[in-house]
Amino acid sequence: MTTDNEPGDPRAAALTRAAAFGGTAPSIHNSQPWRWHIGDGTLDLALERRRLLWSSDPDSRLAVLSCGIALHHARLELAALGWEAEVDRTPAGEDGIDRLARISLGPCGTPEHHAVRLVGAAGRRRTDRRTAPTAPVDFHRLRSIATAAQDQGADVRLLRPRQLLELAGAVERAREVERADAAWQVELAGWVGGSRPSRTGIPADALPADPFQLVAPGRALRRAGATLVDESRDRASVFGVLCTPGDDRIDWLRAGEGLSAGWLTATVLDVSVLPLSIVTEVATSRATVRGLIGWTAHPHLALRFAASPAVGPEARTPRLPLPEIIERD
């Protein structure tokens, strides 16, 4: 006879699969800032402070958002396996500053068809850093993506073409702030480029082609992000803003859950997604983006949507081994 947290127990096995699938989620600079703890029928999600970006994300907003993506992935895996689950999202200051959420397992029943479909799409999801998509995106697909995000408590506000010049200006101003901050540049260089033996960060082969070989990988990545918001060179793309009604830790977590749902829905619908974080990492640029969506919500990322290419545009970013992200009682 096994106890609830022995390897032979189906509940422990389901939670392990959920945590492992959560570990495949995308994150800011592929920092994977999460830690899972498997208890007696529960799965706790917490921030991993060793993998936070203190210069570009000093309040950990984007790290918490990344953990929200992982949380939604874990919830999807459980639903696809047929498990009911309740989620308690933890406000800051309760149960320790680093804990973000607890998943509590209910009974096991019939797998959810929609969850199975989204879990299957996760293996095809890529970050699309092409500079010039050529096919337009169908509006009805974009509406389905936004609806998926809204179902998780977030929103995706699509920008009008005339707003893209202002968005591009906000990106450029953020780049100027970054260029003047030595600590920021050192941090970026530590997470972007190279072969990534640590299995975190963005390896060189996942970056866009750089015609200026002497430019540091981090700067090349940021320059590519700015170029992508050039209306005259990228007319086939649509830009949106991922946002939430509030701006506290649970809102950040919800934003990640919404991005996960929207991105996986986009993958099912053959729409590629590129998140741009630089425009919300700098307070003045973030304020500009908030103005673009009418000051009625708080922006977290700009998103570029384009028709998916026939072949994935980049290598998959590496992932940490499970013992580095999962703990047990």
Q: Is there a single domain that holds both residue 78 and residue 163?
A: no
How does the average pLDDT of the chain come out, rounded?
87
CATH classification of the domain holding 212: 3.40.109.10
Identity of the residue numbered 102: R
Q: Is there a single domain that holds both residue 169 and residue 42?
A: no
Write out pLDDT tens, residues 1-18.
233 444 579 999 999 999
Q: Is there a single domain that holds both residue 152 and residue 203?
A: yes
Number of domains in the chain: 2
Q: Is there a single domain that holds both residue 118 and residue 174?
A: no
Range 50-56 contact pairs with CB under 8 angstroms and sequence separation of 24 or more: 51/200, 53/28, 53/29, 53/187, 53/191, 54/187, 55/181, 55/183, 55/184, 55/186, 55/187, 56/28, 56/178, 56/184, 56/187, 56/188, 56/277, 56/281
Q: Is there a single domain that holds both residue 152 and residue 117?
A: no
pLDDT given at position 204: 82
Q: Is there a single domain that holds both residue 38 and residue 170?
A: no
Residue range(s) defining the domain that contains residue 95:
10-124
Q: Is there a single domain that holds both residue 143 and residue 91?
A: no
Identity of the residue numbered 158: L
Instruction: Classify residue 35: in a domain, yes or no.
Output: yes
Q: Is there a single domain that holds both residue 242 and residue 296?
A: yes
pLDDT given at position 197: 83
Residue with tokens 């047929």: 82
Is 134 or 103 the better-scoring residue by pLDDT? 103
Indicate if the alpha-carbon torsion angle 227, 201, 318, 210 is positive or negative: positive
Instruction: Classify residue 43: in a domain, yes or no.
Output: yes
Q: Model-level pTM? A: 0.91
- CA–CA gap between residue 70 and residue 48 (Å, rounded): 13
Q: Is there a single domain that holds both residue 114 and residue 155?
A: no
